[in-house]
Amino acid sequence: MSDLTALTIAEARKALRDKKFTAVELADAYLAAIDRANPQLNAYVKVTHDKARAMAKASDARLAAGEGGALEGIPIGIKDLFATEGVHTQACSHILDGFEPRYESTVTANLWADGAVMLGKLNMDEFAMGSSNETSYYGPVINPWRRAKAGGQGNMQLVPGGSSGGSAAAVAAMLCAGATATDTGGSIRQPAAFTGTVGIKPTYGRCSRWGTVAFASSLDQAGPIARDVRDAAILLKSMASVDAKDTTSVDRPVPDYEAALGRSLKGIRVGIPKEYRVEGMPQEIEALWQQGVAWLKDAGAEVVDVSLPHTKYALPAYYIVAPAEASSNLARYDGVRYGLRLPGKDIVDMYEKTRAAGFGREVKRRIMIGTYVLSAGYYDAYYIQAQKVRTLIKRDFEQVFDAGVDVILTPATPSAAFGVADQDMAADPVKMYLNDIFTVTVNMAGLPGIAVPAGLDGQGLPLGLQLIGRPFDEETLFQAGHVIEQAAGRFTPQAWW
Amino acid sequence: MSVDVETVRRVARLARIAVSDEDANRMTGELNAILGFVEQLGEVDVTGVEPMTSVIPMAMKKRQDGVTDGNKAADIVANAPATDENFFLVPKVVE
């Protein structure tokens, strides 16, 4: 084994059980790779060297005793949004300076119970608000992918997408075997598409939200980003659970997602929604979408045209619902119980100065929008109207599924990765928001969605396709996603870091 | 609908975020861009449509009203910027 970090989770899991190398050796290989690459990529905001080695050592003892769990000895990166006991947990915000929770999130506790090893905490957009990982207090993550041209544009730094940009970049650059991530409007699927990795947002309620820093509670879901579809299936199986500490977590068995891989698509009906053919979409993305249709047909699926008429209203409705919930959730950061505190002449002055200094621009913008749409006189016109539109968006999907469609195929993003500090997006927040145009509908309806890499654009950058499923039918997403992966192959960036 | 600088100041006060004159001016433009974008929701006919309350239909889970946690005051104040004997310290609020 020359490069242990090149192995998928499935490969490393087998090799560890076969005693080809130890979990400590595997963890050390990743730690060395992180120490080498992180100054360029900025994917990790905290590397937990000692904890990783201690956890790996315990995994080796369990493997030797034949008691290894499903993820025994597998090194994982954790998005900074998940509470990890005694370890940096700041949602990449200045306002949570120094916060080290005295408790563990349910999702990470599930991973550790299965034997996974923590490498550290991953960079992200502040409070998961962003689509480029540029709103992080810790600075942007750099996409391990570069444009194919030599020199000039070829050396331009690209964003990895967001908000789970650190997770996606770390997986793509082989700085962890897999990563946790969260998705409120596309924050798993868009960065997965930008980095040639696989990301799944499961059905709302599939993973417990307990111990995950809240952004928009009715939309937030945890999920994995992984090198391939099988690894994503392995990770989700471990992360998902019912949890008494989150009353929205769902009490139904977690299937063996891996078993869905390799099943034929005969009898599966795939819907192609015409509303996802948006104005200004690059021809390459349209071609990729058609290629995806052909691959699924070749695998035996029946493909039908469908209509989701309220699609165009999903993003505007999201930009009312998500900021409204965020303004309420982020009220807790007041300089009293944790994190940053600036002195003030009285308590209100202390709150106002602390929050002004602690939150970044994008977070403030969303708190302001949320506060405004929930304020007296505007609540019905904005918030209630948006929640009614949300009912219609969900109904669109229900009608398509009721008509016999099993899974919906769309592009994952309207473009490939763009440059760091893009001038157009900096000038107009709505331009940045449009990144989530294909993913946000899924959160609004609570459905599962997976992004699978499907090809490279003319500049050599990865592009992804998205599959959307029925509630709690993640299995069909893994099944169809695997078909796309088998046809498209896997995509790995050339190491330059 | 659009907002003026005074409204932005009022909302910032409600949100407990201190804003400078420059911040308020910049935010006015940004907020109006977003409000302009969401304006299109007004054209959707929502007659007879119930607002969404839960994406997954589920009965609210309940449990016995009993103590299940506690006796960890030191853990709870461990991350606070200012404490005294397991109390959070804040600037004086009552004269």
Predicted local distance difference test score (pLDDT) of residue A2: 56
List CB contacts (< 8 A) between B56 and chain A.
Answer: 203-205, 248, 250, 446, 471
The average confidence (pLDDT) of chain A is: 96
Residue among A161, A170, A183 at smallest CA distance from A227: A170
Least confident of A215-219, A227-231, A280-284, B14-18: A280-284
DSSP-assigned states of every residue in B16-54: T----HHHHHHHHHHHHHHHHHHGGGGGS--TTPPPPS-
CA gap A420, A399 in Å, rounded: 40
* A35 found inside a domain: yes
Distances from the Cα of A257 to the Cαs of A230, A260, A471, in angstroms?
A: 8, 6, 15
- Asked if B24 has any chain A CB less than 8 Å from its own CB, the reply is no
Contact A316 B41 (CB under 8 A): yes
Say yes or no to pLDDT of A179 above 60: yes
Nearest CA distance, B52 vs chain A (angstrom)? 5
List CB contacts (< 8 A) between B70 and chain A.
Answer: none
When pLDDT is averaged across residues A279-300 and rounded to a whole number, the result is: 95
List CB contacts (< 8 A) between A355 and chain B.
Answer: 15-18
As a 3-state breakdown, chain A gives helix, strand, coil percent values, each rounded to 5, of: 45, 15, 40
Instruction: Domains for chain B: give ranges and CATH numbers.
Output: 5-42 (1.10.20)
When pLDDT is averaged across residues B5-10 and rounded to a whole number, the result is: 97
CA gap A203, A489 in Å, rounded: 26
Q: How many domains does chain A have?
A: 1
When pLDDT is averaged across residues A415-433 and rounded to a whole number, the result is: 89
* A112 found inside a domain: yes
- Asked if B67 has any chain A CB less than 8 Å from its own CB, the reply is no
- Asked if B94 has any chain A CB less than 8 Å from its own CB, the reply is no
Nearest CA distance, A256 vs chain B (angstrom)? 22
CA gap A385, B41 in Å, rounded: 7
- Token look-up 């602690």 returns A358
* A134 found inside a domain: yes
List CB contacts (< 8 A) between B24 and chain A.
Answer: none
Return the residue of B nearest to A101 by Cα. B79
Q: From the centroid of its chain, how far is CA A472? A: 18
Instruction: Decide: residue B87, CB within 10 A, 0-12 exposed, 13-18 middle, 19+ buried.
Output: exposed
A353: annotated active-site residue: no
3-class SS of residue A11: helix
- Give the dihedral sign, CA A152/A154/A155/A156: positive
Sheet arrangement for strand A178-183? A44-47, A117-122, A75-79, A178-183, A221-226, A198-201, A449-456, A462-469, A407-411, A269-273, A302-306
A187: annotated active-site residue: yes
Contact A392 B37 (CB under 8 A): no
pTM: 0.97
Among B51, B55, B76, the residue with its CB nearest the CB of A204 is: B55
Phi, psi of A468 (to 5 degrees): -115, 135
User: Would you tell me how many other CB atoms lie within 10 Å of the CB of residue A165?
Assistant: 37
3-class SS of residue A300: coil
Contact B56 A368 (CB under 8 A): no
Contact A346 B75 (CB under 8 A): no
* A418 found inside a domain: no
- Token look-up 């992080």 returns A136
- Asked if B93 has any chain A CB less than 8 Å from its own CB, the reply is yes
Q: Which of A59, A93, A136, A163 is catalytic?
A: A163
Predicted local distance difference test score (pLDDT) of residue B61: 85
Among B13, B15, B38, the residue with its CB nearest the CB of A367 is: B15
Residues A433/A375, Cβ–Cβ less than 8 Å: no
- Number of CB pairs, chain A paired with chain B, less than 8 A apart: 166
Residue A1: pLDDT band by 50, 70, 90 thresholds? Answer: very low
- Give the dihedral sign, CA A412/A417/A421/A425: negative
CATH at residue A180: 3.90.1300.10
Residues A233/A257, Cβ–Cβ less than 8 Å: yes
Q: What tens digit of pLDDT does each residue of A109-160 get?
A: 999 999 999 999 999 999 999 999 999 999 999 999 999 875 556 678 999 9
Nearest CA distance, A83 vs chain B (angstrom)? 13
Contact A394 B33 (CB under 8 A): no
* A175 found inside a domain: yes
When pLDDT is averaged across residues A233-237 and rounded to a whole number, the result is: 98
Contact B52 A391 (CB under 8 A): yes
* A473 found inside a domain: no
3-class SS of residue A20: coil
Q: What is the ipTM of this complex?
A: 0.96
Q: Which of A93, A187, A249, A327 is catalytic?
A: A187
CA atoms within 13 A on the CB side of A32: 9
Contact B79 A244 (CB under 8 A): no
Least confident of A158-172, A177-191, A197-211, A274-288: A274-288
- Give the dihedral sign, CA A438/A443/A447/A453: positive
List CB contacts (< 8 A) between A387 and chain B.
Answer: 51-53
Predicted local distance difference test score (pLDDT) of residue A108: 98
Contact B33 A320 (CB under 8 A): no
Say yes or no to pLDDT of A366 above 50: yes
Contact A355 B41 (CB under 8 A): no
Region for B36 from its dihedrals, namely left if φ exceeds 0, alpha if ψ lies in -120 to 50, beta otherwise = alpha
List CB contacts (< 8 A) between B32 and chain A.
Answer: none
Return the residue of B nearest to A427 by Cα. B30
Return the residue of B nearest to A367 by Cα. B15
Q: What tens digit of pLDDT does each residue of A2-46 get?
A: 599 999 999 999 999 999 999 999 999 999 999 999 999 999 999
* A465 found inside a domain: no
Joined together, the tokens standing for residue A225 give: 């980003």
CA gap A139, A334 in Å, rounded: 23
Joined together, the tokens standing for residue A156 give: 């331009």
Residue A420: pLDDT band by 50, 70, 90 thresholds? Answer: very high
Least confident of A124-138, A252-266, B45-59: B45-59
Nearest CA distance, B79 vs chain A (angstrom)? 5
Joined together, the tokens standing for residue A61 give: 């003892």
- Asked if B45 has any chain A CB less than 8 Å from its own CB, the reply is no
Predicted local distance difference test score (pLDDT) of residue A150: 57
* A46 found inside a domain: yes
A266: annotated active-site residue: no
Return the residue of A nearest to B41 by Cα. A313
Contact A368 B27 (CB under 8 A): yes
Domain holding A44, by residue range, is 4-267
Residue among A169, A186, A181, A226 at smallest CA distance from A207: A181
